[in-house]
Each structure stands twice: as C-alpha cells, then as structure tokens.
Amino acid sequence: MTDRPPFTVHALVHDAADRFGADTAVIDDHHDAYSFAQLRSAALRSAATLRDYGVRRGDRVGVCMAKSATQAVAILGVLLADAVIVPILPGLKHDNISHIVTDAGLRLAVTDDVRADELREAAPDLPLLPGSRLVDPTDPTAPVPQQAISEDLAAIIYSSGSTGRPKGIMVTHRNLWHGAHITSGYLGTRRDDRICSVLSLNFDYGLNQLWQCMLTGARLYLHELVFPASLFRLLAEERITVLPVMPVIITRMFDERLMRFQPKGDLSAVRYVCTSGGAVSARMIEQMTSTFPNAAVFLMYGLTEAFRSTYLPPDQLSARPGSIGRAIPDVELLVLDDSLREVGPGERGELVHRGGCVANGYWNAPEETAKRFRTLPQFPGETVVFSGDIVTRDADGYLYFIGRRDAMIKTSGFRVSPTEVEDVANRYPGIAGCVAVGVANTEIGADIALMYTSEAPVDEDAFRKFLEEELPRHMVPRYLIAEESLPATGNQGKFDRQSVSQSVLRQLGVAQDS
C-alpha cells in the first residue's frame, strides 16, 4: 500500500483518488482530461520516470511548460518523487532562467516542445525531460517509495527581491496542505464546484487551485486567457462556478479593444469570484458584480512568503472600500512600528504575519532570510514574516494597505525590484545612470517609469526596443524620462529615489498623496 504521510501533497493526491475516483479532476483547453484516479496514476508514472532519470528526495526539478493537464501531471509527479518543484515562468529572459537553474541547483527540467529552446539557450548543460514522456500511458504504474514528510520542501518559488535577482521562496508540503484547507474553508469550495483557472501554475495563487481541487473534489478547468470572448464562452458553456482572478486579468477580461460587446452566455452559475495580487478598483468591482450577478466577490491579499494573509468578506465589500480585509483563519496579523510596538487604530505600521503558511525563508540567501523571517519576544521560537507592507487598521480590525516599506514595484501581479530594471538599462550604450520607480495604476498595480541620464542624446525608440528585448514584458518601463542629472543623497552620492519619484509624478501630472 502506498504510504500516505499526513499534511503533504502526497496525502491530497492519494486521498482524492480514493474519495473522488472517476470524477474529472482537471481538463485543459485541448480537452485533455484526467479523473482523480487517472491523475494519481499518471503522477505515479511520472514519479517513477523521474526516479529512473536519477531524481532523488530533495532534488530540485524545474517545470517550464505551457498551462495544460500535462503540466499538472508533471508538478504532481515531481512531488510524488519526493523532489522539489521549481516553476520556471515561460518567457523569462535568459539571465533570469540561468540564475534560477544555477541558484536552485536543478537536477533536470521538465518542459514541452515550445519551451525547450528557451531552456537550452539559457542553460545548455541542464538535462531536459519532455513532459510527454511523463504521461506515456504505456508505462506501468510503478510503486514509488514516498518518504517526504510535511516539513520537507515541496517548492521553491522564485520572486523578485531587493537584491536585483529573483529569490527562491522555500515552501513546504505543510504550507501547501495548510493553504488548501484554509482557503477552501473561508471561500466555501465544494465538490460540485467547477473552477476556471486563468492563473499561472507557476505561482502559489494558481497552484492553490490545484490543491483545493484535490482536497474538495472540485473540477479544474485550465484556460489560457488570450481573448475575453473565449473565456466568457467557457464560463457559460461549462457552467463554471468559481473564478479566481487578479487585477491584471480583470483588466484584460474587460478590455474594450479585445471585447467589442458585452459578455454573452448565461454566467449565472458563477457563485464566487476571488482576487489577489494587487489593489482592486471600484470599477473592477462593478465589472465583476454586474457581469456575475449571483457571485460573491472576495478580495484577498497575500505574499508568497506566507501565501495568504487577509480576505475581505463579500458582505463588507461596500461597507469598507479600500480594505484588504482581516486575517484568514489560523493566522494572526500584527501591525508594528519600528520599535516592534503594536500600533493603534489609524496608525501606520508594518504588517507582520504568523501562522501555518509561513515559508522556510529564501533559498541560498541567509542574509535576505534574516531580514524578513524573524522572531518576536512574545512568540519565542516561532518564525514570523515581516511583509514590508505598511498598513493601517481600523477599530474593527480591518486592514488598509498604504504602501511598500522598500522600493519594490508591484505590477501585473509581479513584484519587481527597481534594480532589476536599472541593471539592464545601464547596459545600454551611453546611459550614465537611471532610477526606476512605480506610478500608481489601479488596473495593474503600478506602471514602471525609468528616469535616466546619458552621456549623449539617446534614441528613445532604440532604447525602448533594447529594454523590450532584454526584460520580461512586465518589467518594461511604460515611461522613459530623460534628465540632465538625477537627484542624489549626501550618502556617497546614491540616487535619491524619493526625489526621483516625486519628479516623475510631477512631470506625468499624477496627483501625489499628502
């Protein structure tokens, strides 16, 4: 009999196969589908194949694939082999792919025909395993000893950091198991739900939909959002009941350039919409409530280092505009000043998260880990996460986001370090210095503006083309602003980011908060 260590993804997979058997678990845009029992069998075959390729407990395995049922099998196969998944976002530039491969020490990567060339160019020595090889139905379902326990690493999810290089966030099996139980609980996910996944399976929010389905028996529809009409057709034809989104996805769903008419079809089956990954504007809320008349709307806030921190119940949506909600179940949130004192209602402080979803820190980055993952005197021996987000709390305990403690720019669901943009821009011939800052945009969180100086006049079109070729799309500045000089602080002549940001806002005519 297969071992079933509790509080692990293994337990979710095996229990789902036993409880929900022939029910459809996952189906993609190509109509490839697996029942829960078939998904377990395919994942076990994948695990056995990975073992044949030398993958052992704790090895890091990259997964770089288009969203598909095969990708879901690959993810589960890596975990059932007791290895650690390292999602690699398709479309990353060579430098970042190479950094992830080297930093994580990947044993191999699972990929598809489209993404294989990206990996070969960025990491020519990395062994690649076609995803199709993992789901070969002619392979017998081999028994795979599973020794991982809840505290073992399940994933390393790379997210941009203040050092200018992506940092790998170490997520355990218990983190994933705990997150599935908490979110399905407060959202009320059920066995008869049909979840439409327009989210990437390369990040915690998208992956959580897979874990919730394993836990509850809900069906997961994997959809690649290109044109809104195809999404709304899927929602209507498949009687989708659950739609997890992000602000950038909402913007695309209702983009008038892509959708010339109101959504067609019966969308009354959608019973809840949930969103995370950035601020949601009043217009976005109106779009969701008017399009999905029977849906409760949950606004959520989280950070990969602790998965999910807050949610705003639907009955508080109009009563508390701008709120990111209260702590999710089994989580306590503190709002602390610089002296680690709990601030009062209306006072600003840093949000600090404690609970079962706290990650194990950053992979290969002890100094960065020590800054964010800390202990507090009132919770001896326990690690909490200092989010870097400045918030206030009202008298009823509802939280309101004010801004980032550091200079991170949150755009289109990504957290971008300004230095990542600046490092690339400084490579362009003639650039003498530059500073990247965020400009608020409720549709995507923030636009990126780059103020720069140059040794001679720069052809802006050529400069922009260079940035588009060297940076991922979400990191390309929307605004390029040339200046004769950049403001500097008295501290060794470092650029004064606050002054740059104020100057950018003035030039763009953006109102500034007092």
Distance, CA of 20 to CA of 160 (rounded, Å): 38
Q: Residue 289 has what DSSP assignment?
A: H
pLDDT at 406: 73
How many CA atoms are closer than 13 Å to the CA of 405, on its beta-carbon side? 18
pLDDT at 162: 37
End-to-end CA distance of the chain: 64
Q: Which tokens in the block code for residue 331?
A: 């989580």
Per-residue model confidence as pLDDT tens digits over 164-202: 578 999 999 999 999 999 999 999 999 999 999 999 999
Q: What phi and psi, each to the nearest 5 degrees, are found at residue 330?
A: 65, 25
Supply the pLDDT for residue 80: 96
Q: pLDDT tens-digit profile of 9-56?
A: 999 999 999 999 999 999 999 999 999 999 999 999 999 999 999 999
**CA pseudo-torsion sign 263, 282, 311, 278:** positive
Of 2, 6, 5, 133, nearest in space to 73 by CA: 133
Only one residue has tokens 């004010």, namely 402
Q: Helix axis angle, 113-122 relative to 94-104, nearest 10°?
A: 80
Say what the pLDDT of residue 475 is: 93
Q: How confident is the model at residue 213, as a pLDDT?
A: 98
3-state secondary structure of 108: strand
> In a 10 Å sphere around its CB, with 0-12 CB exposed, 13-18 middle and 19+ buried, how is residue 10 labelled?
buried
pLDDT at 64: 95
Token pair recorded at residue 187: 């959202």
Rounded to two decimals, the pTM is: 0.84
Q: What pLDDT was estimated at residue 248?
A: 84
pLDDT of residue 514: 35
Residue 490: predicted pLDDT: 47
* Residue found under tokens 């439409």: 196
Tell me the C-alpha distance between 21 and 409, whole Å: 44
Task: Specify the 3-state DSSP secondary structure of 18.
Answer: helix
The pLDDT of residue 134: 85
Residues of the chain with pLDDT under 70: 1-3, 137-142, 160-164, 260-261, 489-494, 510-514
